[in-house]
């Protein structure tokens, strides 16, 4: 009998961009449990600029398809590309302005989280902040108006009133595709609100994530000229009409030490 032609083993599968993002974030944002007590404070500080640029560059390459969002309904306003699960099929074909913001959970640990916010047209995420956090945001599709502030330093307080002066950082409409935006604990527009101009989706990396007992702190604009505003912190977390959706993109396999 003859011998068959030997075959080469298949090449290793190329990791998805989502998994590559997870791996890069895991190297960039160390878990508090993996560092000494003396290093916890520094581990919560923003990473070096080159590390942030590396994550931003990778996020710039991620498309809706890379995270499981279908390409046939980004612009028609009839869905967000993930309404394939059993609990949302034909019943989801309702007026889009009645739909809440949907959050797709990709990955979360005590050092960072990766998720996707999907907003129907005219949806609003009210003014809120990310205290002590570094946040990278990639607009995957659609368009969004962003208005953001940073605190004026040193702090400027209004006499006799619980308000603090913030300086306008961004007041603009972003249209996909556009570069990944980065905000830091003290700069980059840490206090911000979003309004979707067209249905849109935003891929977020938040480090560290919010704890289970706390959410984003709400703020309200009291008054102020165009470039500045007196901002008042609210006593309750920001109220967002939001529910969880089913993430259908590539899975992330966590590598435990």
Domain extent listing, the chain: 17-244
52 vs 134: CA distance, rounded Å: 9
**One digit per residue, pLDDT tens: the chain, 257 residues?**
445 455 555 544 577 999 999 999 999 998 876 554 444 444 457 899 999 999 999 999 999 999 999 754 454 444 444 333 333 333 333 333 346 899 999 999 999 999 999 999 999 998 888 989 999 999 999 999 999 999 999 989 887 788 899 999 999 999 999 999 999 999 999 999 999 999 999 999 999 998 655 555 566 666 666 788 888 888 766 677 888 999 999 988 776 55
Q: Tell which residue, 218, 222, 216, 231, has the closest CA to residue 167.
A: 231
Single pTM value for the model: 0.79
CATH class assigned to 17-244: mainly beta
């Amino acid at each position: 009998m003859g011998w068959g032609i030997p075959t080469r083993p298949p090449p290793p599968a190329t990791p998805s961009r989502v998994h590559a993002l997870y791996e890069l974030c895991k190297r960039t944002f160390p878990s508090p449990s993996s560092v000494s007590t003396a290093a916890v404070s520094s581990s919560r500080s923003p990473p070096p600029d080159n590390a942030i640029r590396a994550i931003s560059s990778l996020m710039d390459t991620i498309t809706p398809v890379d995270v499981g969002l279908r390409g046939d309904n980004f612009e028609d306003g009839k869905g967000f590309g993930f309404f394939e699960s059993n609990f949302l099929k034909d019943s989801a074909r309702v007026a889009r302005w009645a739909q809440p913001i949907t959050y797709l959970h990709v990955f979360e640990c005590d050092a960072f989280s990766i998720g996707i916010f999907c907003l129907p047209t005219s949806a609003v995420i009210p003014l809120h902040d990310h205290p002590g956090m570094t946040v990278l945001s990639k607009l995957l599709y659609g368009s969004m108006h962003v208005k953001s502030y940073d605190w004026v330093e040193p702090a400027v307080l209004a006499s006799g009133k619980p308000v603090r002066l913030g300086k306008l950082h961004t007041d603009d409409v972003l249209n996909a595709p556009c570069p990944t935006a980065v905000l830091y604990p003290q700069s980059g527009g840490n206090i911000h609100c979003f309004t979707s101009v067209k249905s849109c989706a935003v891929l977020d990396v938040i480090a560290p994530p919010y704890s289970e007992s706390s959410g984003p702190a709400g703020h309200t604009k009291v008054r102020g000229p165009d470039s500045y505003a007196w901002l008042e912190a609210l006593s309750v977390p920001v109220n967002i009409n939001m529910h969880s959706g089913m993430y259908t993109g590539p899975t992330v396999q966590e590598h435990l030490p």
